[in-house]
Structure 1
Amino acid sequence: MQILLGLIVGAVVGLAAHVVLPHRQLRGAALAPFAGAASAAIVWTALTWAGLGIDSPVLWLVVVLAPAATTFSLVPAITRARLNRDAADRAELGI
């Protein structure tokens, strides 16, 4: 049940990334929160298996930083791919 804490933190970090990063209208509203929650869940699971408990500050620090690194690198890459694809489609159509 404690992994829910990590999932919530990851989703909140992902939501913040969605709001802060540009071109919000080009991606789904759930992409960044899901990416943040997934990365936080993976890190939380790995660190608890490694023996860190909920009282460890390292666990909390990594659970905040991992979704931030994931979402702030993944979301711009996906947005850039979408912009490039749209430009290629416009060039192909002659618009």
Structure 2
Amino acid sequence: MYILLALIGACALGIGAHFLISGRELRGVAVTPAIATAASAILYTALQWTGIGEDSIWLWLASVLGAVVVAVLATLGIVAFRRRSDAEARAALGI
């Protein structure tokens, strides 16, 4: 049940990160929050399997803040890839 707290926190911070990262017109509105939520679920589950309890601060830092860091890096990569591919397409079309 505690995993929902981590997922909601990561999603909310992912929404905030979406608006702080430039290039919003190059990606969908749900990309960054979705990546943050998925990363949070993976990190929380992996840390629980390794034996870290819900009372550990490391579980919460990794599953909430770590997931947002992963989402920000992935979003920056997506934006960079999109800008590069758009520039190549414009160059190929002679625009």
Alignment correspondent of 2:56: 56
- Distance in 1, matches of 2:62 and 2:75, equals 19
Matched, 1:34 2:34: yes
Cα RMSD of the aligned pairs, angstroms, is 1.3
Note if contact 1:9-1:40 (Cα within 8 Å) is conserved in structure 2: no
User: Where does residue 4 of structure 1 map in the other structure?
Assistant: 4
Asked whether the 8 Å contact 1:10–1:33 carries over to 2, the reply is yes
The answer (yes or no) to whether the contact 1:13–1:67 under 8 Å persists in 2 is no
Gaps of 5+ in 2: none
Structure 1 residue 41, shift from structure 2 partner:
0.4
User: Aligned letter for 1:87?
Assistant: A
Letter in 2 for 1:11: C
- Counterpart AA for 1:10: A
Paired residue secondary structure (2:52) = coil
The letter for the 1-side match of 2:25 is: Q
In the other structure, the counterpart of 2:69 is 69
TM-score (norm 2): 0.90
Match of 1:80 in 2: 80
Distance 1:61 1:89 in 2: 41
Percentage of identical aligned residues: 42
Return the offset for 1:16: 1.6
Task: Output the CA distance in 2 between the equivalents of 1:73 and 1:33.
Answer: 12
Question: Which segment drifts farther, 83-92 or 65-74?
Answer: 65-74
CA deviations over 1:41-70 (Å, ceiling 9, x no partner): 011111112222222212111122321221
Distance 1:82 1:34 in 2: 18
Gaps of 5+ in 1: none
TM-score, normalised to structure 1's length? 0.90
